[in-house]
Amino acid sequence: MSVTLLALYRRPEGGDEALHTFRRRYRDEHLPLIRQVPGLRSIHVASIDRRLMGDDDLVLVTRMVFDDGEALDAALSSDEMKAAGRNLREVAPGIVSLFVAEPDAEMGAIAADLPAEEAGPDRG
């Protein structure tokens, strides 16, 4: 079953100029390194459009999907991921949180059971 490495990025200190610099370096430096990580099946990057709840000042979310835990573990120990990690510490110092997310069988079964007429455009 697939495993997700989730990266949440907060707004860097320094206003719009610092945010622009972070986004440029993330796009031009970090993403090309991440794309080289072995076992990475897909990568999805989304800008935070608006906050509905919570106190975090998130600006970017990246979801990296691997086939399973073994593939993620191999990726995390790879030279490519180590290079990406070194770069991340330069590009996003103190503004990133990383999480490993695995499917939740109990919650997933409930979520998957949503009737089609209730699913809406983003759920069906």
Tally the C-alpha atoms within 13 A of residue 24's C-alpha that lie toward its C-beta: 6
- Distance, in Å, from the CA atom of 61 to the CA atom of 48, rounded to the nearest integer, reads 7
pTM of the model: 0.84
List pLDDT tens digits, range 57-97. 999 999 999 999 999 999 999 999 999 999 999 999 999 99
pLDDT band at 120 (very low <50, low <70, confident <90, very high): low
For residue 106, what pLDDT is reported?
Answer: 82
Q: Which domains does the chain have, with CATH numbers?
A: 3-119 (3.30.70.100)
pLDDT in the model for residue 55: 73
C-alpha–C-alpha distance, residues 25 and 37, integer Å: 18
Checking phi first, is residue 20 left (phi over 0); if not, alpha (psi -120 to 50) or beta?
Answer: alpha
Q: Are 93 and 9 in contact (CB under 8 A)?
A: no
